[in-house]
Structure formats: C-alpha cells, structure tokens
Homo-oligomer: A and B are copies of this chain.
Amino acid sequence: MAPTTNGRVLFAAVPSGFPIPGETTVYDTSQTIDIDTTHLNGGFLVKTLVVSVDPYMRGRMRSPEKKMYGAPFTLDAPIDGYGVGVVQRSEHNDVAPGKYVSGILPHQEYSVLLNMQGLNFLQKHPNLPWTVYVGAAGVPGKTAYMAWREFSRAKKGEVAFITTGAGSVGSRCNSMVIQLAKRDGLKVIASAGSEEKREFMKELGADIAFNYKTTDTRDVLQREGPIDIYWDNVGGDVLDAALEHAAVYARFLNLHNTFAKSLIINGILVHRLEAKYDAEFYATIPAALAEGDIKYREDVTHGLETVGDAILRVQQGRNTGKAVVIVAEE
C-alpha cells in the first residue's frame, strides 16, 4: 500500500490564556506512513480510534521548567492523552494484531509503540461504542465508581451533595456519582452552572437539582442538609458552604485539582478523642510540662474584672500565650 497521511495534533506554542486552535495546538498533515511496511523495531503499530479531551490538558501546555502535576507536553511534538486504539501489526510477543488497547496514546492517526507502557488491553462490550471507554467506562467513570466505593461509606437515607464545576478535573464523573448515590438509597442534592445541566441532573435522579448561578448554595443546604457526603469538584466558596452544612462525621470526596495527592484531611474535635486518650494524656503530659520537657506560654491576668479585656485581646490576636484569668487563690 502506498504511504498515507498520518495526521497529528502538535503542541505548537505555550498558550497565555485559553489554548488557541491553529496557534497553540496545530493539526498537522505533513507526515506520511506506510501502514504495511513502516519499521516496528520490535514494537507494534496502533491505529487510533478515539481520543479523550479533558480539562487537565491545559496544565500540560506549559514550559518544562514549571513544576506542576502531570508531565508537560513537548513543543513541536504530538500531544497525548487517554485514547483507544487497535493493533494493526506487531513484532511484540505479547501484543497481537486485532487487540484493543486503551491508555495514553499520542494524538496521531497511527503510532508505532515499543511497549505497553501506559496502556492496557481492553475488552469491548458489544453494545457500547468505543467513545464510552474514555468516558463513563473510562477514567471519569472509574473515578466516580472507585472513589464512591472506597470512600463514601454511604448509608441508605443519608444526604449527598454533588457539585459540577466547569472545567475541573473529572467533572464528567458527576453524572455517574448521582446515579450511584441514588442506587445506594441516598437523597441527592446536585448543583451545576446551567439550566440545561440542572435538568440533566434531575433526569439522572437527583432529588434536588439547582443552578448555583441563580440559586444560593447555602440556602439550599440549609433547607435540604446537613450533608453526609460531599462530592467536591469545585473547591473555593462552595467547599466552605459544604463545610458549614456538613453533618458530624461527614465524608468529603474531593477531586479539586490541588487534592490529587490522595491526602487525608482530618477535622479535629478533641471531645471525640478523649475516651481513647485521656488516661495516656494525664499520665504523661502534666509531668512533662512540670519538668520543662514540654514548654508552654500563658498570658495571665487576675480577677474576673479582666475577662472583658482578655476576650478582646484574644479576638485581636494580641495575647502572647494561652489567655487565662486567675479568679482566686484556693
């Protein structure tokens, strides 16, 4: 067969604001490939079937000096991302022609790959198109399903609040989370930034769906909360509102960019720890304080008549140690 065009999407320049088609990403047709004869070098030839376009890609469009999550794209090389392909030819023992692979693929029509690094073999359900395997049956769907299973501790009758943020990582997970929450018997409050998304959430089974641009989130949570599970896709002020209306022992599942480190945030209220640690505390800490092994500072005044001023100093941050008022000697 004669060589054919091997179209690809090049990272042409670092965008300053939004990435501009034709400027920062350029579709390029200058390369050709002969599918039957191109050298495989012990690897295999993949024909790309579908590629996914996701918000996180903007973060990779940067100069390599900038440290961020995710490797930067290489200037003048094809961008890459999640995709599905089919193996056309192979010199690799483990990769047979006709196999489907999903994972990180270059944005080009045909690619010679040397190994399965970043790829997995995929079985197709006969009634699903390939597109779904980078969406509801791909990373976004997996994120929703696995995080819900691992972290939600959902109990029938609880209240879940599920947000959809424009442009945030994994925002397409949310439609699945709404459905998983309903399957588990929860009351679902869902917010989105348009009337059309609001209606879709309602269709998916959300008990309360509202447009956060026209309805006050705090009003809704005040009326319909407190919330036991918060699926956070937006952070910022909505996260604050969710915190204010969280039930005790609520679980927050957070996909906001900065949380991509699998960290754990524990809210602390000492009274819920006392049963476990009181004996140990009194057996060790007062002695350590008395002997100076652990240091402390106090800001002591004398007499209840000094309380008002002490309160004010504490509110203004002017106290120089733990504020205590000595009311009387024994």
Contacts and interface: CB of A to CB of B under 8 A. Distances in A.
A21 B311 contact: yes
Given A167-B315, A252-B264, A273-B147, A135 B287 contact: no
Nearest to A323: B53
Given A128-B289, A145-B281, A317-B167, A266 B294 contact: no
A258 B242 CA distance: 9
A10 B111 CA distance: 78
A19 interface: yes
A266 B147 contact: yes
A39 interface: no
Contacts of A250: 261, 263-264
A307 B172 CA distance: 18
What does DSSP make chain A's interface, helix, strand, loop or mixed?
A: mixed
A58 interface: yes
A307 B27 contact: yes
A264 B265 contact: yes
A137 B285 contact: yes
20 contacts: A9-B304, A25-B307, A51-B325, A52-B322, A53-B307, A57-B314, A108-B304, A123-B282, A126-B290, A127-B291, A135-B321, A135-B322, A145-B281, A146-B276, A147-B268, A150-B266, A250-B261, A251-B264, A253-B268, A261-B269
Interface of A: 7-9, 18-22, 24-27, 47-55, 57-58, 79, 83, 86, 107-109, 123, 125-128, 130-132, 134-137, 139-143, 145-147, 149-151, 166-167, 170, 172, 175-176, 179, 193, 196, 200, 203-204, 232, 240, 243-244, 246-255, 258-270, 272-274, 276-278, 280-282, 285-287, 289-291, 294-298, 300, 303-305, 307-312, 314-317, 319-330
